């Protein structure tokens, strides 16, 4: 609810600039909610405060800019970052190798499809940079995926219009229940991820020991 209030206030007060900045951040792996940003932009468009097509265009532009920044970070320092700091987020070189191999087989789906998955969409560009997805195709696929996702979110907000606050209030109690479920699922995921990380790390260390003999 706090995220909704802060994001909606920023979009309401700063309009297109807020949409652009929030969408840039979303593509740079900074946890902002494109659902709230564009949903509320759609609400403002329905009430005559913004232009719907303009809001979507600004949002897509922001995501492309942020995606290229994240791509560049992944391209120039992604592997080194993972090798040095990956242990703090339970990532290994093997995970990176698998991600690169997956992108090699599913490059188009990886970029376009990743833009259509909540949460994951904010990290797609970084991984694409590590996997060295070509710049031109990366930009086109990012733009297409962002247009579909942001257009849908803005369209939903536009359809809700003036009923936005009523709907948010109705779902507030359910949100607390979902938050508890989400925390439990995240805890289970990290437990499983920790076990997998330790196993992979041990195998990598054993392989390095064999090569050094």
Average pLDDT over residues 172-181: 51
Query: pLDDT, tens digit, for every residue of 114-171?
Result: 888 877 788 788 888 887 888 898 999 999 999 999 999 899 888 887 666 555 554 4
Q: Which residues contact 36 (CB under 8 A, 6 or more apart)?
A: 3, 4, 7, 8
Q: Where are the alpha helices (DSSP H) in the chain?
A: 2-14, 16-27, 34-46, 52-85, 93-105, 107-114, 124-130, 135-160, 164-212
Average pLDDT over residues 75-99: 66
The Cα 82–Cα 95 span in angstroms is 9
pLDDT beyond 50 at 2: no
Q: For all residues of the chain together, what is the average pLDDT?
A: 77
Q: Which residues contact 86 (CB under 8 A, 6 or more apart)?
A: 92, 93, 95, 96
């Amino acid at each position: 609810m706090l995220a909704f209030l802060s994001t909606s206030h920023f979009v309401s007060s700063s309009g297109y600039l807020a949409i652009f900045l929030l969408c840039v951040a979303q593509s740079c792996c900074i946890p902002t909610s494109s659902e709230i940003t564009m949903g509320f932009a759609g609400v403002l468009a329905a009430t005559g405060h913004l232009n719907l097509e303009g809001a979507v265009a600004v949002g897509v532009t922001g995501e492309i800019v942020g995606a290229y920044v994240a791509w560049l970070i992944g391209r120039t320092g992604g592997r080194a970052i993972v090798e040095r700091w990956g242990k703090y987020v339970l990532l290994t070189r093997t995970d990176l190798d698998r991600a690169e191999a997956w992108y090699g087989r599913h490059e188009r789906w990886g970029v376009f499809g990743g833009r259509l998955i909540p949460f994951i969409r904010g990290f797609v560009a970084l991984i694409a940079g590590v996997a060295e997805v070509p710049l031109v195709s990366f930009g086109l696929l990012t733009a297409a995926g962002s247009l579909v996702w942001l257009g849908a979110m803005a369209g939903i907000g536009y359809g809700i219009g003036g009923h936005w606050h009523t709907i948010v209030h109705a779902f507030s109690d359910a949100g607390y229940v979902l938050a508890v479920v989400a925390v439990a699922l995240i805890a289970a995921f990290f437990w499983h991820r920790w076990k997998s990380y330790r196993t992979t790390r041990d195998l990598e260390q054993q392989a390095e020991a064999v090569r050094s003999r």
